[in-house]
Amino acid sequence: MNNSFILASGNITIGNHHGVVHVFGLTIYLDVVWTTLLAAAIVMAFGLRMRAKVTSGVPGKLQLFWETMVEQVSDLATSTIGPEGLPFVGLGVTIFFFLLICNWLAFIPSGDPGFLAPPTGDVNLPLALAVTVIFLVHYNSVKARGWKGYFKHYAQPYAALTPINIIEEITKPITLTFRLFGNIFSGVLMVAVIVALIPPYLSWIGLLIWKPFDELFIGAIQAFIFALLTIVYLGMGMSRDAH
């Protein structure tokens, strides 16, 4: 193994380390808390500003952008779930923009490269979102099908597939979590590797190429995929035999 890599690996830290508190036996990383709150505040600020500027006449650029996104998510929801999917348009749009801001936080100048690390690069936030989404899926599935129809769908299309269908439902939050976390964390880790292995006077070249691709492009793609899978899972959970 390359000795330079071994030496560099000692300088690479995984996760956020700008403050840790312990509450009732739980470990809370303050980096994840304040970046999550910051992302939520930015999304709310954009939403409130758009609401203040909304008009029934010629829309401004911000309103046109929001209307385009809402229309795209509405088409996705109705094509996946039908008219019953329209109440989930707000959920899909909110998840997309929230994750987009979370993934793009590292581009905000902070003086410390890790001070505004994407909270989605810590497994706790993707896991919390995934658990919330799957809870909503099962809750709305029971509402749409009733308890009898809900348990019956695990035996579809054949009763012999019941164990496989149950395993599939169990793995959904796991795959939803690690799909988002893995892609964002790998980008953060690559930045750490570039900084550790490349001389300081050359590391900016690698960062100039990698950071825009990973944090802007990959971050947007992962936010879209998470919002898309949320709508798809809701559609699968609410579907009936008559659909």
How much is the pLDDT for 214? 65
pLDDT band per the 50, 70, 90 thresholds, residue 191: low
243 belongs to a structural domain: no
Identity of residue 64: L
Per residue in 5-14, pLDDT (tens digit) is 344 444 444 4
pTM here?
Answer: 0.79
Q: Which domain holds residue 202?
A: 3-238
Per residue in 103-118, pLDDT (tens digit) is 888 777 654 555 677 8
Our count of domains for the chain comes to 1
* CB proximity list for 208: less than 8 A, separation 6 or greater: none
116 belongs to a structural domain: yes
200 belongs to a structural domain: yes
